[in-house]
Amino acid sequence: MRLIKHNCARLLPVCFLLVICFALPVSAGQATGGTAQGELDVLCYNVAGLPIPSAFHRENRSPWEDCKRISAYFAKSGYDFIAVQEDFNCHRQLTSALKNTYPYQTVHQGAVPVGDGLGLFSKTPIYNQRNVPWALSAGIFAGANDQLTPKGYLHALAALDAPGVYVHIYVLHADASGDPASKAARADNYRQLAADIARYPEEPMLVMGDFNGIYTNVARFMNETGLRDSWKDLTDAGFYAGNDPGVGWCQSSGDSIDRILVRDGKGLRFTILESKNLNLQTAPGGVTVAEQLLTGGRSLSDHAAKYAKLAWHYDGNPQGVWGETGFPLTPPQWDLSLPGKQIKTFFVKLGLLWKGIDALTKERGSP
């Protein structure tokens, strides 16, 4: 009996500490009785990282120097997720200031012509990265030269700031230009992405990227996938023109081809608090951000960045598909097969380039 009393006395401090720990308040973004809530600041930006020397650029800009400026801005920004497009030949400069502020990054797929230019920078862990090229693209020397790089979409799973809560993130760069072949390719891009999203029914999602389109095909894509546009929800009360191929969107002033789309699912609900275009531009001492180009400034890209602030609420219903209870979670890592894929892609693109040169020569040589 004396031994039992002695052991109980030793356990009392431990029990007291446990009671205190469980009585402490839990900050926003952490689970409280199975529920959790928080906010996300999200940015989508086409960084224009194409290897064009300043001497050949119409604005005399150096993408390498500008990507350094963008990196410094990202590092100070505090965004939770940053999705980028056209991160090609300036990746080292773009990530130069992000080692400590964005410890979780997708694996860069390479420069022109072997990389897709897509990337995701995150403050929370990301898993299961997939980079998928479009099945259809158009343009070698025309149509924005889309066939010279393996554009497509990136898919990953990202953890939110609460145990066991995840969201799917897609980053895309659709086929550009307005010629008939490019329009057909872009419509096919949306169909391909919608089919991939259909693999994860009722799952929560963020879909961000350069859609290169603002009309019916985008509206159809969102209707098929259940996604909501952060900009349209706040400016046009979520109005979309419908599925009639002859009907365009009710386009608001300031709408753009760069979009942040959201979808609720598996107990995770998003509320769109803010959405706007941000023009990143040069300024004395670094970078300034404004919704319009300021006098004397120069944009760091041919795109404005799309920003959204989202509130999220998780109702405590177990998602039950990832981690210990489902599919494994694999952090992004350099794949031994990547160099082989890059070499294969290089020769495919070289063949397309040769084919384009041959067709152009024949066209110019014909009477």
Looking at per-residue pLDDT, the higher value among 282 and 260 belongs to: 260
DSSP string, 70-105: HHHHHHHH--SEEEEE--STTHHHHTTT-TTT--EE
Does 3.60.10.10 match the CATH number of domain 28-335?
yes
Q: How confident is the model at residue 363 (pLDDT cuts 50, 70, 90)?
A: low
CA distance 85 to 262: 18
How large is the average pLDDT for residues 159-175? 93
Say yes or no to pLDDT of 37 above 60.
yes
Omega into 113 within 30° of 0, i.e. cis? Answer: yes
Q: Which whole-number Å values give the CA distances from 53 to 58, 61, 62, 143, 150, in the listed order?
A: 10, 8, 6, 22, 22
pLDDT score of 343:
65
* pLDDT over 90, % of the chain: 46
Span 283-342, pLDDT tens digits: 777 788 877 677 677 889 989 999 999 999 998 776 655 544 456 788 887 676 766 666
- Residue that the structure tokens 């529920």 belong to: 35
Say yes or no to pLDDT of 192 above 80.
yes
For residue 334, give the 3-state DSSP assignment: coil
CA distance 260 to 172: 11
Span 73-121, pLDDT tens digits: 999 999 999 999 999 999 999 999 999 999 999 999 988 888 899 999 9
pLDDT score of 282:
84
For residue 302, give the 3-state DSSP assignment: coil
Token pair of 29, please?
Answer: 């973004």
pLDDT score of 252:
55
Q: How confident is the model at residue 25 (pLDDT cuts 50, 70, 90)?
A: very low
Say yes or no to pLDDT of 30 above 90.
no
Q: How confident is the model at residue 24 (pLDDT cuts 50, 70, 90)?
A: very low
Predicted TM-score (pTM) of the model is 0.82
Burial environment of residue 277 by CB neighbours within 10 A (0 to 12, 13 to 18, 19 or more): middle
- Residue that the structure tokens 């120097």 belong to: 65
φ, ψ for residue 344, nearest 5 deg:
-60, -45
Say yes or no to pLDDT of 210 above 50.
yes
Among 39-43, 127-131, 216-220, 357-361, the range scoring the smallest mean pLDDT is 357-361
Q: Which whole-number Å values give the CA distances from 289 to 62, 69, 301, 306, in the listed order?
A: 19, 12, 12, 12
How large is the average pLDDT for residues 183-208? 95
For residue 240, give the 3-state DSSP assignment: coil
User: Which of 83-87, 161-165, 236-240, 301-305 ranks highest by mean pLDDT?
Assistant: 83-87
Span 348-361, pLDDT tens digits: 555 655 555 555 46
DSSP string, 32-78: BTTBEEEEEEEEEEE-------GGGSTT---HHHHHHHHHHHHHHH-
